[in-house]
């Protein structure tokens, strides 16, 4: 395929050019938003000042390509090979890359505005709306206040991630793994959580009122009075612990669960498993913690007011 053939097909509505071989092709200043160049061979191609917003360039070969002045905003560059590519003045705002993306070695890419999709990534306030992140590994990532409206997270791994106040409106989280994730204040309205693993997740203040929870696993998750579930959904019957003042959590398995800021005044936590639990800022005035296992728990900042709090001997 040559440049003229590609441009004619694109003008006719074709967007899928995955796997195409276009070495040394001249597409300078071409306007190709949303094009799919997945696994395409574009080595030494001239894409200078081309418009490639929202393009799929996953695993594309772009070694030696000219991308100077090109617009790659919100393009997916995960796994792309860009060694010796000319990226002078290239716009990469809100583009995606990962640990397998190969940028030129003679430049600093940490401040170009791209999002690194990888475990432990800092994605605070990232705009990831409508991206295809199916199968993405984001365990232990920090996504506080991120926008994931309409994103596809099918089969992704967000276990132990901080996804507080994330907007998941209409997102697809089918079969995603969110074990021990922190979803405080998250908006999950109209999201698809079918077959999603939410065991031991923190759902304080999360809005799941119109979410689909068919076959979702929520055993050991924690919620509070501000958590909103779908009508007729019984959190206790589904194995969720309700963390409120006076709660009966005797013998509960809360290992590794985030209970940060929980109001557990006069709660019965006797014999509870709180190993590695996060109790930062929790209110435990008058709580019964007799024979509870607090090994490696984060006890920084909890309020132990009063003299009635029963702690392990």
| pLDDT attached to residue 109 | 59
State the average pLDDT over residues 122-137.
97
- How many Cβ atoms sit within 10 Å of the Cβ of residue 26? 14
- The residue written with tokens 């006069």 in the block is 266
- How many Cβ atoms sit within 10 Å of the Cβ of residue 281? 14
State the average pLDDT over residues 194-200.
98
Q: Give the whole-angstrom CA distance, residue 186 versus residue 197.
A: 16
> SS in 3 state form for 183-239?
CCCCECCCCECCCCECCCCECCCCECCCCECCCCECCCCEECCCCECCCCCCCCCCC
Task: Kindly state the tokens that stand for 77.
Answer: 């560059």
| pLDDT attached to residue 313 | 47
Fold match flag (120-240 vs 243-313) = yes
Q: Does domain 120-240 have CATH number 2.160.20.80?
A: yes
Residue 41 dihedral angles phi and psi, to the nearest 5°: -100, 100
How does DSSP classify residue 241? E
| pLDDT attached to residue 307 | 31
pLDDT at 72 over 50: yes
Q: Which residues pair with 147 in a beta bridge?
A: 127, 167
State the average pLDDT over residues 205-220.
97
Q: Which CATH architecture has domain 243-313?
A: 3 Solenoid (2.160)
| pLDDT attached to residue 294 | 93
| pLDDT attached to residue 311 | 52
- How many Cβ atoms sit within 10 Å of the Cβ of residue 300? 10
Q: Give the whole-angstrom CA distance, residue 205 versus residue 192.
A: 18
pLDDT at 155 over 70: yes
Helix, strand or coil, per DSSP, at residue 6: helix
CB distance 186 to 165 below 8 Å: yes
pLDDT at 201 over 50: yes
Q: Give the whole-angstrom CA distance, residue 245 versus residue 186.
A: 22
State the average pLDDT over residues 225-232.
95
Q: Give the whole-angstrom CA distance, residue 225 versus residue 307.
A: 26
- Average pLDDT over the chain, rounded to an integer: 93
| pLDDT attached to residue 302 | 63
Q: Does domain 1-116 have CATH number 2.160.20.80?
A: yes
Q: Give the whole-angstrom CA distance, residue 36 versus residue 40.
A: 9
Instruction: pLDDT band for 133, please (50, 70, 90 cuts).
Output: very high
- The residue written with tokens 């809100």 in the block is 94
State the average pLDDT over residues 53-66.
97
Q: Give the whole-angstrom CA distance, residue 310 versus residue 302.
A: 14
CB distance 42 to 63 below 8 Å: no
* Count of residues in the chain: 313
Task: Kindly state the tokens that stand for 108.
Answer: 């600093």
* pLDDT tens, position by position, 293-304: 999 999 887 665
CB distance 175 to 152 below 8 Å: no
**pLDDT top residue among 107 and 31:** 31
Over pLDDT 70: what percentage of the chain? 94
* pLDDT tens, position by position, 110-125: 567 899 999 999 999 9
pLDDT at 180 over 50: yes
CB distance 272 to 291 below 8 Å: no
Task: Kindly state the tokens that stand for 166.
Answer: 């994330």
Contacts by residues 193-197 (CB-CB < 8 Å, ≥ 24 positions apart): 197/159
Domain residue spans of the chain:
1-116, 120-240, 243-313
| pLDDT attached to residue 254 | 95
Task: Kindly state the tokens that stand for 202.
Answer: 């923190």
pTM of the model: 0.90
* pLDDT tens, position by position, 5-55: 999 999 999 999 999 999 999 999 999 999 999 999 999 999 999 999 999
CB distance 49 to 68 below 8 Å: yes
State the average pLDDT over residues 192-214.
97
- Please, what is the Cα angle at 237 between 270 and 197, to 5 degrees? 90
């Amino acid at each position: 395929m040559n440049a003229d053939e590609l441009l004619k097909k694109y003008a006719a509505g074709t967007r899928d050019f995955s796997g195409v071989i276009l070495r040394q092709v001249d597409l300078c200043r071409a306007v190709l938003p949303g094009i799919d160049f997945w696994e395409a061979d574009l080595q030494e191609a001239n894409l200078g000042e081309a418009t490639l917003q929202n393009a799929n360039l996953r695993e594309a070969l772009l070694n030696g390509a000219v991308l100077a002045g090109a617009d790659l905003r919100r393009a997916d560059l995960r796994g792309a090979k860009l060694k010796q590519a000319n990226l002078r003045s290239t716009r990469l705002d809100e583009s995606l890359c990962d640990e397998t993306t190969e940028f030129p070695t003679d430049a600093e890419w940490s401040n170009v505005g791209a999002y690194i999709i990888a475990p432990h990534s800092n994605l605070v306030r990232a705009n990831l709306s409508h991206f295809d992140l199916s199968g993405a590994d984001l365990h232990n990532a920090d996504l506080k206040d991120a926008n994931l409206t309409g994103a596809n997270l099918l089969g992704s791994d967000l276990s132990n991630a901080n996804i507080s106040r994330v907007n998941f409106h209409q997102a697809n989280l089918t079969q995603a793994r969110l074990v021990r994730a922190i979803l405080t204040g998250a908006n999950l309205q109209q999201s698809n959580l079918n077959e999603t693993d939410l065991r031991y997740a923190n759902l304080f203040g999360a809005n799941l009122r119109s979410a689909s929870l068919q076959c979702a696993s929520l055993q050991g998750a924690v919620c509070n009075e501000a958590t909103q579930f779908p009508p007729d959904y019984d959190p206790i019957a589904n194995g969720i612990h309700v963390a409120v003042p006076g709660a009966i959590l005797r013998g509960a398995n809360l290992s590794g669960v985030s209970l940060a800021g929980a109001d557990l005044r006069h709660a019965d936590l006797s014999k509870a498993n709180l190993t590695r639990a996060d109790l930062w800022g929790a209110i435990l005035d008058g709580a019964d913690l007799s024979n509870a296992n607090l090994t490696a728990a984060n006890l920084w900042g909890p309020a132990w007011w009063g003299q009635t709090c029963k702690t392990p001997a």
